[in-house]
Amino acid sequence: MKLDQLLQDISFRYEEVSKSNDVTVHGLTDSSQKVKPGFLFIAIPGHQLDGHAYIQDAINNGAAAIVGEKDHQVTDVPYIQVPNSKKALGMLARNYYQNPASQKIMVGITGTNGKTTTSYLVKHILENMDYTCSLLGTIQNVINGECSKTANTTPNALTLNQLIDKSNDEVVIMEASSHGLAEYRLEGLHFDLCLFTNLTHEHLDYHGTIDQYYEVKKALFRKLKPNGTAVINSDDAYGEQLANELKQEGLQTYTLGKSIANDLQILDQLSVDPPSCRFKDHDIHTLHSPMAGIHNLYNTLQAYAAAMQLDGETAKVLDSISGFPGVPGRFTTYPLKNGATVVVDYAHTADAVFNCLQTVQEAEAKKLTHIFGFRGNRDQTKRQEMMNITAEMSDQFILTMDDLNGVHQRDMEQMLTFYLNHTKFGKGEIIPDRTLAIKTAIDNSQPGEWIVITGKGHEEYTQSYSLPTHSDENTVNYLRKNEISEAN
C-alpha cells in the first residue's frame, strides 16, 4: 500500500508529504525488532522505553518510512511527524487493514467489573441467535472459533485490527479496558453497541482520580456509530451520570435499572439463590440468572438488552440464557466431599469482593472463610477497603500471596502484616504460600461452610508454591482428589 493512502485521515507535518509520495509500505509495526524490509515503523513513547530510540534499528532492519511524534532527524527514509503516535498507530492499522471493523457488528463492553462475564453472555446469546461471534478479552481471544491467549484485555491497535481482519465472524464482542482506552488502542474503531457495567475504585495508580477514570471509560461511547446505542446500567451512580450526559449530547441510550425511568425496568427480585427477577421492557418478563450473585443478574440483564438491540426475540433470548455454562474463574463452585463448598472468583476490587462475599452469605453459609492477597505493583489505595469488607463479611480470612509482579515476597508479607494489624475484629491470619492457605482452609472445613478464594480466578500462578499445582482451580481439585482418596 502507498504511504499516502495509509496516511489518510491522519494529521502530520506538511513538509513531509512530498517525500512520502512514492513509498510503498509492506507492513506496519511499532517494534523495531519486528521491522522487515519495506515496513512502516511507528515510534511509540511507552511506559518503560521510547520507540524513538529505536528508529535507527528500524531503518537498519529495512524500514521504508518512520512515523513518530517527537522532533527527530531522519535522513535515509521519510519521517512523518504526527501529534500522537499511539493515535496514529490506530488510524494507520485501520487504513492498512482497510477498516475491517466496518464490516462487523461491533460490541464494546466497559466498566470496572463484569466486562468478561457480560462479553461471554453476549456471545452465548448471539450465537443462539445464529450470529457468528469473535470475542476479545481478558481470558482469551476467540476468532473464527479458534481460541488464543491474550497479553492484554484490550490488545494494541495494530493487533486489534489484525485480529478483526482475520475474523470471518459477523460480530466482534470486545472488552474495552480503561488502559486500552487511555492508550488509544481503540483509535479508529466504531461500535454498534457500547455497554457500561459499573464504575468503582480501581486502577487509580494509573488514572489518578476516579473522575479521570470515569472520563476515560466514557471515551468508549464517543466511538458509537451514528445509529449505535449505549446500553447502560443506571443503578450504578456513574452509569446514571453517563446516561444523562450521553442523552444531553444526543446519543442513543438504552438504560436498565430499578427506576421507572429506565428502558428496561427491574420490577422485583424474586429470589437471590439462584438470582431471578421480573423486569419490564415492552412487556413484563422473568429472568433467571444462570450465575450466582446479584451482580451477575445485572450482567445477564445487560447481555439480554444488548441482544434485544440486535433484534433478538425475547423468548428465545431468555431461553438461551438458561443454558449459559458460566465463565472460568467467575464464582466457580467446587463441592467438597465433607459437605463444604469452595468458590474460586476473580474479584480483585473492593466492590467485586463485596459482591462475591455477599453471594456466599445469601447462600446461608454456616461459616465463610475468605482467602486472598494483593497484587504487587498495582493500585495500593484499594487494599484497605478490601480489608474492611472481608473483616466485616467473613468469619475468618487468610491473607496470602497473589502475583508479586516484581515485588519481593518479604515486602509483600510485611504489607500483609501491616493490613492485618490495622484491621479490626482479629479474625485473620497470614499463610504466604497460596496453596497451603487453601489446604489449611479445606482441611479445617465443616459441612455447610464456604471457602472463597478471590483474586486469581482463571489465571495461572506466576510463582511456585508447595503443592504441585498451577492455578486455584487446579489446587482445589488436587485437594479434592486427596480428600476423596483419604476418605476411601
Ligand X SMILES: CC(=O)N[C@H]1[C@@H](OP(=O)(O)OP(=O)(O)OC[C@H]2O[C@@H](n3ccc(=O)[nH]c3=O)[C@H](O)[C@@H]2O)O[C@H](CO)[C@@H](O)[C@@H]1O[C@H](C)C(=O)N[C@@H](C)C(=O)N[C@H](CCC(=O)O)C(=O)O
User: Are the CB atoms for 277 and 297 separated by under 8 Å?
Assistant: yes
Cα separation, 428 vs 149, whole angstroms: 36
68 assigned to a ligand binding site: no
Partner touching 355 among ligand ATP, ligand X, none, CB below 5 to 8 Å by kind: ligand ATP
Q: How far is the CB of 336 from ligand X (least distance, A)?
A: 30
Nearer to ligand X, 49 or 270 (CB): 49
Establish if 153 lies at the interface with ligand X (CB under 6 A). Answer: yes
Nearer to ligand ATP, 19 or 288 (CB): 288
At 204, which amino acid appears?
A: L
Partner touching 31 among ligand ATP, ligand X, none, CB below 5 to 8 Å by kind: ligand X
177 assigned to a ligand binding site: yes
Q: How far is the CB of 30 from ligand X (least distance, A)?
A: 4
User: Are the CB atoms for 321 and 287 separated by under 8 Å?
Assistant: yes
Q: How far is the CB of 82 from ligand X (least distance, A)?
A: 14
Cα separation, 350 vs 201, whole angstroms: 7
Nearer to ligand X, 150 or 314 (CB): 150
C-alpha dihedral, 347 to 348 to 354 to 356, nearest 10°: 10
Pairing of strands 191-196, 105-110: parallel
Q: How far is the CB of 435 from ligand X (least distance, A)?
A: 24
Under DSSP, is residue 229 helix (H, G, I), strand (E, B) or coil? strand
Cα separation, 88 vs 179, whole angstroms: 17
152 assigned to a ligand binding site: yes
CB atoms within 10 A of CB 131: 18
* Residues 162-201 within binding reach of ligand X (CB under 6 A): 177, 179-180, 183
276 assigned to a ligand binding site: no
Helix axes 314-322, 294-309, angle to 10 degrees: 140
What is the pattern of x (binds ligand X, CB under 6 A) and - over residues 121-140?
--------------------
208 assigned to a ligand binding site: no
Q: How far, CA to CA in Å, does 296 sit from each of 25, 290, 343?
A: 47, 8, 15
Length of the chain: 488
Q: Any idea which residue has 485473620 for its cell?
A: 428
Q: According to CB under 6 A, which one of 3, 39, 54, 296 is a site residue for ligand X?
A: 54
Q: How far is the CB of 37 from ligand ATP (least distance, A)?
A: 39
Cα separation, 391 vs 456, whole angstroms: 20
Which one of 151-159, 191-199, 394-402, 466-474 is the stretch in contact with ligand X (CB under 6 A)?
Answer: 151-159
Nearer to ligand ATP, 88 or 352 (CB): 352
Residue nearest to ligand X (CB): 46
Partner touching 439 among ligand X, ligand ATP, none, CB below 5 to 8 Å by kind: none
Q: How far, CA to CA in Å, does 316 sit from each of 45, 64, 307, 313?
A: 49, 53, 10, 5
Establish if 161 lies at the interface with ligand X (CB under 6 A). Answer: no
Helix axes 294-309, 115-128, angle to 10 degrees: 40
Establish if 46 lies at the interface with ligand X (CB under 6 A). Answer: yes
Q: How far is the CB of 187 from ligand X (least distance, A)?
A: 12
Under DSSP, is residue 384 helix (H, G, I), strand (E, B) or coil? helix
User: Are the CB atoms for 278 and 268 separated by under 8 Å?
Assistant: yes
111 assigned to a ligand binding site: yes
Q: How far is the CB of 478 from ligand X (least distance, A)?
A: 27
Cα separation, 261 vs 279, whole angstroms: 13
Partner touching 51 among ligand X, ligand ATP, none, CB below 5 to 8 Å by kind: ligand X
Establish if 315 lies at the interface with ligand X (CB under 6 A). Answer: no
Partner touching 356 among ligand X, ligand ATP, none, CB below 5 to 8 Å by kind: ligand ATP
Partner touching 114 among ligand ATP, ligand X, none, CB below 5 to 8 Å by kind: ligand ATP
Q: How far is the CB of 289 from ligand ATP (least distance, A)?
A: 11
Cα separation, 207 vs 126, whole angstroms: 34
372 membership: H or E segment, kind and range: strand 368-372
Residue nearest to ligand ATP (CB): 114
- Per the rule left: phi > 0, alpha: psi between -120 and 50, beta: everything else, 266 is beta
Cell digits of residue 288 = 433467571
Establish if 31 lies at the interface with ligand X (CB under 6 A). Answer: yes
Cα separation, 3 vs 154, whole angstroms: 27
Interface with ligand ATP by CB under 6 A: which residues? 111, 113-117, 138, 153, 175, 177, 197-198, 295, 298-299, 330, 345-347, 351-352, 355-356, 457
Partner touching 299 among ligand ATP, ligand X, none, CB below 5 to 8 Å by kind: ligand ATP
Q: How far is the CB of 306 from ligand ATP (least distance, A)?
A: 14
Task: Please say whether the dihedral angle defined by the alpha carbons of residues 119, 121, 123 and 126, taken in this order, is positive or negative.
Answer: negative
Establish if 51 lies at the interface with ligand X (CB under 6 A). Answer: yes
Residue ranges binding ligand X (CB under 6 A)? 30-33, 44, 46-49, 51, 54, 151-154, 156, 177, 179-180, 183
Annotated binding site: 32, 111-117, 152-154, 177, 185
